[in-house]
Structure 1
């Protein structure tokens, strides 16, 4: 039985959601789909290539959610947009398997190879998320809603706060938005209080 690349990726994404990175591998797919080992290698030359395809799919799902959840609101402050974006990321992760948080953890916390296609894909995902917050920090500096010292490093800290908040369940879901607003506002040093969206 031959199987499509799409079916392999779909199954691997499901395995990733259940077992994280260590669950993804050609042998797992062979067992799950009942195909010959060669079927996986016809589409993916290595486990690393398979993991890169999974990351690509998860990234696509993530950014579709973010675009749908965070439309541009004319006249909104940079800080207001940043808070809404942070909330959208938290909602995404809370409604997905815990393994989805692995896409924004430092590479040493995952089982991805230090070099390779999956590491490059992971770097692209992380850079894209951080860049979104960098842009909003820039807008916030321009409109005065965040302090002028907020930099690219601040954007990385914001992402760490979001991942940590969801991973550690620092607050119950019903109060998370309020607490997240307070944490991010303190981090970026807003000059005036901004209410959560």
Structure 2
């Protein structure tokens, strides 16, 4: 933050302190990274006394976990909306929609993406909200992969590895965009976002196995089988 610049304050209203502190934490990350966040600094940004936040957040990890919960909820909602917008009898389209929604959300919510992706900032294991929302997104992805394989349209017969590869490609593309790597390839702005989506489409095309007969057996790991 430049010298002399007055930091913006959150729109805290009585009875809404928790949300104001979450908003303040996001602002602090945007200005100076996660290390810029503390509960006391968030209180200052929200315009309340230093001790006021501690009935909501006992420490920085609790505050950052709340930000991550907000992020995961918004991310889950975007993925569900994207999946519902494509033909449900086309699992590869559902699979592609999830990846596209992931990238769109990450690119347009870089601070939330950074927080939710950096597990040492948050208490993932202690948050039921995070685990449940993440489980919903994973299930949508796994169901799309399994359904694609059962239709004989998936090149690989290894569901787990396909899932990991897909997760790696969208995460990697999202990080590359946010960290500014595409400028090294003379691609920026809207062209960079278009490039990211085009690379995802290319990856999806490599997974496809159109025209093949459905496999006689599948190698779906037990923990990935749908109920």
Q: TM-score, normalised by structure 1?
A: 0.76
Distance in 2 of aligned mates of 1:144 and 1:101: 36
Contact 1:20 1:99 in 2 (8 A): no
C-alpha spacing 1:72/1:84, structure 2 compared with 1 (3 Å): same
Distance in 2 of aligned mates of 1:80 and 1:2: 45
Distance in 1 of aligned mates of 2:113 and 2:154: 29
Distance in 2 of aligned mates of 1:18 and 1:116: 28
SS at match of 1:179: helix
Tell me if 1:56 matches 2:62: no
C-alpha spacing 1:32/1:167, structure 2 compared with 1 (3 Å): same
Higher relative CO (Cα under 8 Å, sequence separation at least 6) belongs to 1
Distance in 2 of aligned mates of 1:178 and 1:141: 23
1:23 counterpart residue number = 36
More helix by share: 1
Tell me if 1:11 matches 2:21: no
1:129 counterpart residue number = 137
Distance in 1 of aligned mates of 2:97 and 2:125: 34
The aligned runs of 1:1-197 (5 Å cut-off) are 4-74=17-87, 76-98=89-111, 100-104=113-117, 107=119, 110-112=120-122, 117=126, 126-147=134-155, 149-169=157-177, 172-186=192-206, 189-192=207-210
Contact 1:30 1:36 in 2 (8 A): yes
Distance in 1 of aligned mates of 2:200 and 2:122: 30
Contact 1:52 1:117 in 2 (8 A): no
Contact 1:16 1:99 in 2 (8 A): no
Contact 1:25 1:47 in 2 (8 A): yes
Q: TM-score, normalised by structure 2?
A: 0.68
Question: Where in structure 2 are there 5+ consecutive unaligned residues?
Answer: 1-12, 212-227
- Alignment: residue pair count: 186
Distance in 2 of aligned mates of 1:55 and 1:98: 10
1:76-128 deviation line (CA, Å, top 9, x unaligned): 422121112111111111112255144235x3xx4346x7636x765555544
RMSD of aligned alpha carbons: 3.0
Question: Where in structure 1 are there 5+ consecutive unaligned residues?
Answer: none
Superposed displacement of residue 147, structure 1: 3.3
Contact 1:146 1:191 in 2 (8 A): yes
SS at match of 2:48: coil
